[in-house]
Structure 1
Amino acid sequence: MASGTFEKTSLSWQLQQLSQQVGEWLEGLLPRNASAPTSDIPQLPEWLLEGLFWLMVIAAIVWAGWQLYRLLGPYLAEFWQVEQVDDRTGVTPSPQHTVAEWLQQARLAQQQGDYQTACRALYMASLQQLNDRGILVQQLSRTDGEYLDFLQLQNLPRPYQVLIQTHERLWFDQVTASADTYERCWQAYQEIERS
Structure 2
Amino acid sequence: MSTDAFEKTSWSWQLSQLQQQVGEWLEYQSYRFERVLPEWNPDWQLSPWLASLLQFLFWLVVVVFVTGVIWRLWLVFSPYIYSRLASGNGIGVRINTLSQDLSVTSWWERSQVFYRQGNYREACRCIYLAILQHLHDQKIIIHQPSRTDAEYLQLLRLSQTAIQPYETVITTHEQLCFGNTEMLPENYQQCQQAYREITQK
Normalising by the residue count of structure 1, what TM-score does the alignment of the two structures yield?
0.49
Normalising by the residue count of structure 2, what TM-score does the alignment of the two structures yield?
0.48
Q: Which has the higher helix share?
A: 2
Indicate the structure whose relative CO is greater, using CA pairs within 8 Å and at least 6 residues apart: 2
